[in-house]
C-alpha cells in the first residue's frame, strides 16, 4: 500500500485545494490570536472587550472552533489584537 503525502494537515483533511488553503490560513490566524491573548494574560472577558466581540466568541476562538470563523472575521480580530497580517502568494506546484 502506497501512502500519500500532503503539504500540510489541512490538505489531508480537505480534498479541495482552495478550501484547504482557507482552512490553513484560518488555523494560523486562530493560533496567533490565542497566543496573543495568552501572552497578554487576558481573561476571556478582557479579550472580548479588547477585540470588540462577546466572551462566547473568544471561547470559540480559544477552543479552536474553526468552522465558526471566516477568514475576514479573523483578520479583523487580528488587527484589533494589534497583529499585522501578511500573505504570501506563490504559483501552484
pLDDT in tens, 41-80: 999 999 999 999 999 999 999 999 999 999 999 999 999 9
Euclidean distance between CA atoms 40 and 38, whole angstroms: 5
54 closest CA partner among 66, 43, 45, 63 = 45
The whole-number average pLDDT for the span 27-33 is 97
pLDDT tens digits along 7-28: 555 455 666 788 989 999 999 9
Return the domain boundaries, the chain.
9-80
Give the residue-averaged pLDDT of 82-86.
Answer: 97
Between CA 38 and CA 32 the distance in angstroms is: 10
C-alpha R_g of the chain? 15
Per-residue confidence band for 4, with pLDDT thresholds at 50, 70 and 90 = low
Domain 9-80 has CATH 3.90.550.10: no
Task: For residues 75 and 62, give the distance between their C-alpha atoms in angstroms, rounded to a whole number.
Answer: 16
Amino acid at each position: 500500500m502506497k501512502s500519500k503525502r500532503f503539504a500540510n494537515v489541512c490538505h489531508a483533511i480537505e480534498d479541495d485545494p482552495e478550501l484547504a488553503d482557507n482552512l490553513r490560513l484560518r488555523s494560523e490566524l486562530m493560533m496567533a490570536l490565542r497566543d496573543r491573548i495568552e501572552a497578554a494574560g487576558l481573561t476571556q472577558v478582557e479579550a472580548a472587550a479588547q477585540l470588540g466581540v462577546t466572551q462566547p466568541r473568544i471561547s470559540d476562538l480559544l477552543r479552536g472552533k474553526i468552522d465558526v470563523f471566516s477568514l475576514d472575521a479573523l483578520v479583523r480580530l487580528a488587527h484589533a489584537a494589534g497583529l499585522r497580517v501578511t500573505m504570501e502568494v506563490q504559483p501552484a506546484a
